[in-house]
Amino acid sequence: MEIQEIYCSQTGDKCNFIKHSSGLKIYICEMNGFSTTEALFGTKYGSINTMFKTGKDKDYTTVPEGIAHFLEHKLFENEDCDAFALYAKTGANANAYTSFDRTCYLFSCSENYLESLKILLGFVQNPYFTQETVDKEQGIIGQEIKMCNDNPGWKVLFNMLQGMYHNHPVAIDIAGTVESIAKIDAELLYKCYNTFYNLHNMVLVIAGNVKTADVLEVADELLKSCENIELETVFPHEPYEIVKSEVYEHLPVGMPIFNIGIKCAPLSGYDRLKADMECYVAGNAISDPSAPLYKKLIDEKLINSTFGFEVFEGDGFFALIFSGESNDPKKVLSYLIDEIEGIKAHGIDKELYNSIKKSTYGGLIMESNNVEAVASNLISAFMSGVEPYDQIKVLSEMTYDDVQKTIIERFDTKNLTLSVIE
């Protein structure tokens, strides 16, 4: 088993990469002088992966929406007790999450990290589902879905996504619907588990006060070798154009909240990361509190400090989202379109561009001194199909012309959806 050292030439940071004999990929970042440890055991399996097949299958399998999230909930329980009870004995703080493109199980601790690592590798590799426990969980997750449907911040996002995406499952709530989870049974959970929780589709990341040799000793003891089943996921064809330009809904809110989503062509791997970082700098140059647009919107009392921007991307989807609170979201949209078109014609303010790029770079440097952020960045790189320090490489090589070109190509003001909760 070969240990490969991955080095960041910009910062001097480094981590160890191991392709374990079991098929699992392992990233270990030894952070000398730190007292805490963060570990994540993740699979490339999220809410969007509803259609898949393996090398042995003739046809694609389609499963109910929300099953990845449902499986995450059920995996914490085994025949004897749940994993949280085991973590309580080691003192670790444990959690899990399912997003659009991944499911991760994690813990953080300041001592006994090897004992906690054994728990993590143990319960994730040992599923236990019965129809009785599945039926019980359907009621629990059904309540969770209903609560999310009453959450204005959640609804404004998914209303926007449904206004943008015709067929891609990113427009479906991560937890699914009450109707879709009613179709889940124990047999289906085992099928999805055996497909996506194959170690060839997974990664282990551990950072902080750790030793590579000790981590690998636990890995050798507990990882169960498995064959590569040649997993293939697929998405329905998605047109470039949005579904509709406006979505409104009434919910109890003190002030209307809005999401403005610009739908872009999807990318993958390094190209997606490069576009992500360029759009991030460009979007912040438009929405930053020091930018002309922000000052204008504040002066006219059209926004408050909640106004912001994010890049939203993954397998088969890429969008730019401006969000906030406003008594006149349509006027905010009008000013935003004028600002973007003005920047396309005349260019971003170079001083503002340099300021945003430097502050973004500084943020990445600060994250390299945060155990949780280091682990999170390592797992995100794996899930995105890039190398651990590519993010800082892209940013250090970024030019003004790159960002200006991205604004012209990807900030398409004719392909956007305004979502408002009134």
| DSSP-derived 3-state class of residue 98 | strand
Q: In 10 A of CB 54, how many CB atoms? A: 14
Strand partners, 203: 25, 42
Q: At what angle do helices 390-397 and 371-384 cross, to 10 degrees?
A: 80
For 41, the enclosing helix (H) or strand (E) is strand 37-43
| DSSP-derived 3-state class of residue 421 | strand
> Which two tokens mark 204?
């282990």
> Which two tokens mark 140?
């629990």
Which residues of 304-368 form beta strands (DSSP E)? Answer: 308-314, 317-325
Determine the straight-line distance between the first and last CA of the chain, rounded to whole angstroms. 58
Q: Amino acid letter at 321?
A: I
Q: Choosing from 72, 77, 238, 278, which is the catalytic residue? A: 72
219-252 burial, b for 16+ CB within 10 Å, e for fewer?
Answer: beeebeebeebebebebeebeeebbeeebeeeee
Task: Return all residues near 74 (Cβ < 8 A) that are at least 6 apart.
Answer: 127, 129, 133, 134, 137, 189
Q: How many CA atoms lie within 13 A of 128 on its CB side?
A: 11
| CA dihedral over 163, 165, 167, 169, signed as positive or negative | negative
Give yes or no: 132 in active site. no
Q: In 10 A of CB 201, how many CB atoms? A: 20
Strand partners, 41: 105, 204
| Active site members | 72
